[in-house]
Homo-oligomer: A and B are copies of this chain.
Amino acid sequence: VSSAAIIGLGLVGGSLARDLAAHGWRVVGHDCDADVLEAARRSGVLNQSLGSDLEGLEDVDVTVLAVPVQEGPQLLRLLQPRLGASALVLDVGSTKRAICAQAEALGLGTCFVGAHPFVGDHRSGWAASRTGLFCGARVFLCPLPTTPDAVLERARELWHLLDARTEVISADAHDAQLAWSSHLPQLVSSALAGALHSAGILPQQLGRGGRDVTRLAASDPQVWTGIVLENAGYTVQALALLERCLADLRRHIESSDEAAIRAAFVRASRWARANEPT
């Protein structure tokens, strides 16, 4: 029987714990919220809790850090003395440079692989966790320069067991891409919600389309504060380009430039429709 320790039982950690337990793994876990930990134990997902200073970690095959990204590096340092038996150590954060650099600095190159299962939406926490979350999902894997092929392969197998698809990418390329494909949409949705709030508009006044655009705004503020702080450089670049697109559009409307407005909508619509099932 394989065993895993999951530190942090939110949406991703909780879902991972559920899936591995469903596959017959022995799952131990920890969460800083005692109620969450108790709920996970009562549900039968956890075989046992880790001790308050995480004793019990020494005996597992796989250790997964599933905490907000700003807590990852420090937690990894705290865990290091107990990682002896773990053949594989993963994190599951949405940014990869800081945690990979920390793993490198701690000399964890023989067992660490940064991972980012790209599964989130606006929901968060243990209450939102569920089996099958990773089914069909993309999981980015960022090995360290020193990660042995066999360890990377072990990480791949873990995610393939849960029917996810894996994609190996450098931590820097990951953070650059996700600034656009994930962090910018989150910031846009949150900024729109902020503007609507300022204008005195209630969520109930939006139509179906507007609810789609603002849905992400409900995401966990703590999680996202950490993500954009860590990925500040790329995120700021993405925001700056979006601000230019919006300002262009506003000026076209101000000057009643019908051709330019139509061109912007056509470009956006062609791009978005490339996504539709044919």
Listed in ascending order, the chain A residues whose CB lies under 8 Å from chain B are 118-122, 177, 180-182, 184-199, 201-222, 224-225, 228-229, 232, 235-236, 238-243, 245-247, 249-250, 253-254, 256, 258, 261-262, 264-269, 271-276
**Is B246 a contact partner of A242 (Cβ separation < 8 A)?**
yes
What CA separation (Å) do A276 and B188 show in the bound complex? Answer: 20
Nearest B residue to A186, CB-CB: B209
Q: Determine the residue in chain B with the shortest Cβ distance to A226.
A: B258
Closest beta carbon of chain B to A167's beta carbon, Å: 10
Contacts of A203 in B (CB 8 A): 271-272, 274-275
Question: Within the assembled complex, what's the spacing in Å between the Cα atoms of A71 and B173?
Answer: 48
Q: Quick one: given A221-B262, A243-B243, A269-B217, are A236 and B209 in contact (CB under 8 Å)? A: no
Bound CA–CA A253/B228 (angstroms): 7
- B181 to A210, Cβ gap below 8 A? yes
Are A254 and B269 within 8 A (Cβ)?
A: no
Given contacts A258-B225, A268-B217, A269-B220, contact A275 B211 (CB under 8 A): yes
B221→A269 contact, CB < 8 A: yes
| Distance A152 CA – B242 CA, assembled complex (angstroms) | 43
- A1 vs B155: C-alpha distance when bound (angstroms): 69
Q: Which are the 6 A-B pairs with shortest beta-carbon distances?
A: A203-B275, A221-B265, A193-B268, A190-B268, A218-B272, A217-B272
